[in-house]
Amino acid sequence: MTPSRRQTARRRTTVLRRRAVLATVPVAVAALLGAAAPTAPGTAGAPGAGDPYFPLSGNGGYHVGHYDLTLRYDTATRHLDGRAVLTARATQRLSRFDLDLTGLKVTAVTVDRTPAAFRRDGQELVVTPRRTLPAGHAFEIAVGYQGTPQPVTDPDGSRDGWIPTDDGAFVAGEPQGAMTWFPANAHPRDKSSYDFTLTVPQGRTAVANGELLSQRTAHGRTTFHWREPRPMAAYLATATIGTFQVQRSTTPDGIRIYNAVDPREASSAAPVLKKLPSVLAWESKLFGPYPYRSAGAIVDHAPDVGYALETQTRPVYDAAPDLATLVHESAHQWFGDSVSLTAWKDIWLNEGFATYAEWLYAEQHGGDSAQKTFDALYASPAGDALWAYPPGDPGSGKNLFGTPVYARGAMALHELRGAVGDGPFFRILRAWAAEHRDGHGTTAQFTRLAQRVSGKRLDGLFHTWLYTKGKPNTA
């Protein structure tokens, strides 16, 4: 959808509480007392991953390799029964650690199959295992939980997470909604594989990321087992539920497509979804091979959501998308999903790239040239919202999805293309996707890569387009 439509969010301030971290004290005390303490206490994992925009998103002290989520959702009562089994590794000697989880009732927590103490503190589920975990220790966390999931309201006023609909739920976790439906290390710095076992009333369909491994109906309920084997950030997980028409196919490249479409959106969605294979093929030519084996679309009827999300392998749309939106969410599979952020501040690496993909698609399919789109935007007067803040430094979580990030972020890429030429520009995009595939990338890494591939000094260009306040002077 267009940046302006993405921006319809109402404003509301969210107050994030920060807990005092006294993590280093026990270690310091142990050191003062001399080495031999046999019951060395270890340290507590930090309550956040260190992101200034969302200080409590993610956690310190461990990484999650795999999530195994078993969920049963009653669409009539909106009751969720969940069990999450996380396979993790301690990155420090760990006496205690947090998971992100908001709302819901936790019924039991075990660590390595042994009951662990836990308490809730805002969005933190604080877990104290019976024994301190050695640094490097591989361990298993199991959490039983239940309740009525509620979405979170983001700093920009939009809602994300588990959003109930009239026939199920629209599930999209950017930037912080994963914690509304499963206990997670919910920051894109931590990427993991996932299994989803989703049980819903017979007649409803539950759609997650990756591949559908099995589907079984018994006693009036259907269980869907989905698996995403590639590393995925928690915000890109979905378990969207509704009454859906399902279409499956395989592209000539062997990508398996699974589309789930709300019947109320089916006639408008059909002509756009028909183009998904050709959009993926076109993007693969431009950006390098599609990063996944599965693809598709979840087209819900969720009139009060107001956005689509690039959920990994299978974006979720609040209504039948237009072609530009399909191109946008598909481009995110390379830029945002396969190559992930390490900090929300770098959001232009997702949205500027996906928006520029829309411009390129138009240019190569009989629409406006990217230059024409750039020129029309550049004509916006200095007081326009487009110039309200620089895309490389949005300043706060409430600016993540604003026009400067989407449109001026794309303008920055267009300026780069103009400065280095088409050949080097597309080599830069392909190298970015290839070198950071299934991993992470920062703005500094991108600008270094652009200079390396092009052989040009580009710091002035990036400084102007990414970091300078107000409308850049291009003369």
Residue number with the shortest CB distance to ligand TRP? 158
Which entry of Zn ion, ligand TRP, none binds 401, CB below 5 to 8 A by partner kind? ligand TRP
Of residues 124, 160, 190, 265, which one binds ligand TRP by CB under 6 A?
160
Kindly state the smallest distance separating residue 154's Cβ from Zn ion, in Å: 15
Binding track over 316-355 against Zn ion, x by CB under 5 A? -----------------------------------x--x-
**Count of residues in contact with ligand TRP, rule CB under 6 A:** 15
* Min dist. Cβ of residue 311 to Zn ion (A): 12
- Strands 43-44, 114-115: parallel, antiparallel or unpaired by DSSP? unpaired
Integer-rounded Cα Rg, in Å, for the chain is 23
> Toward Zn ion, which CB reaches closer, 172 or 354?
354
Pairing of β 168-172 and β 191-201:
unpaired
Determine, following the binding rule CB under 6 A, whether residue 329 of this chain makes contact with ligand TRP. yes
Q: How many residues bind Zn ion (CB under 5 A)?
A: 2
Segment near ligand TRP (CB under 6 A); pick from 50-58, 117-125, 292-300, 308-316: 308-316
Residue of 6, 1, 14, 141 whose CA lies nearest to 396: 14
Using CB under 6 A as the binding rule, whether residue 316 contacts ligand TRP is answered as no
In the complex, the smallest distance separating the C-beta of residue 402 from ligand TRP, rounded to whole angstroms, is: 9
- Distance, in Å, from the CA atom of 48 to the CA atom of 71, rounded to the nearest integer, reads 26
For residues 336 and 424, which CB has a smaller minimum distance to Zn ion in the complex?
336
In this chain, which residue has its C-beta nearest to Zn ion? 354
Of the ranges 141-149, 155-163, 253-261, 427-435, which one interacts with ligand TRP (CB under 6 A)? 155-163
Q: Is 70 exposed, middle or buried (0-12, 13-18, 19+ CB in 10 A)?
A: middle
Question: Which is closer to ligand TRP, CB of 5 or CB of 285?
Answer: 5
Residues 6+ apart with CB under 8 A from 466: 348, 390, 391, 392, 393, 412, 443
Round to whole Å and give the CA distance between 399 and 53.
10
Under rule CB under 6 A, residue 9 binds ligand TRP: yes
CA 81 – CA 104 distance, rounded (Å):
9
Binding mask 349-388 for Zn ion (x = CB under 5 A): --x--x----------------------------------
**Cα–Cα distance, 267 to 446 (Å, whole number):** 41
Q: Which does 262 bind (CB under 5 to 8 A by kind): Zn ion, ligand TRP, none?
A: none
The Cα–Cα gap between 410 and 318 comes to 24
Give least dist CB 218 to ligand TRP, A.
36
Does the protein bind ligand TRP through residue 102 (CB under 6 A)? no
Scan residues 221-240 and list those touching ligand TRP (CB under 6 A): none
**Stretch 162-191 residues interacting with ligand TRP (CB under 6 A):** 174
Q: Which stretch binds ligand TRP (CB under 6 A): 75-83, 153-161, 412-420, 430-438?
A: 153-161
Query: What is the spatial distance between Cα 195 and Cα 208, in angstroms, rounded to a whole number?
Result: 9
Contacts of ligand TRP in 350-369 (CB under 6 A): 351
| Binding segment (CB under 6 A) for ligand TRP, from list 247-255, 304-312, 424-432, 434-442 | 304-312
Cα 57 to the chain's mean position, in Å? Answer: 12
Asked if 6 touches ligand TRP (CB under 6 A), the answer is: yes
9's contact among ligand TRP, Zn ion, none, with CB below 5 to 8 A by partner kind, is ligand TRP
Looking up tokens 């597309």 gives 426
Does the protein bind ligand TRP through residue 415 (CB under 6 A)?
no
Among 258, 290, 307, 359, binds ligand TRP (CB under 6 A): 307
The torsion defined by the Cα of 258, 262, 263 and 269, in degrees rounded to 10, comes to -70
Q: Cβ 382 to Zn ion, closest distance in Å? A: 26
Q: Cis omega (within 30 of 0) on the bond before 175?
A: yes
Nearer to Zn ion, 3 or 155 (CB): 3
Among ligand TRP, Zn ion, none, the one that 307 touches (CB under a kind-dependent 5 to 8 A) is: ligand TRP
Instruction: Select the span of 85-93, 156-164, 260-268, 423-431 touching ligand TRP (CB under 6 A).
Output: 156-164
Q: Cα(377)–Cα(437) distance, rounded to whole angstroms?
A: 31
Nearest C-alpha neighbor of 365 from the set 421, 315, 323: 323
- Does 300 bind ligand TRP (CB under 6 A)? Our answer is no
Contacts of residue 219, Cβ cutoff 8 Å, sequence gap at least 6: none
In the complex with ligand TRP, which residue's Cβ is closer, 75 or 399? 399
- Return residues touching Zn ion (CB under 5 A): 351, 354
- Return residues touching ligand TRP (CB under 6 A): 6, 9, 154, 156, 158, 160, 174, 307-310, 328-329, 351, 401
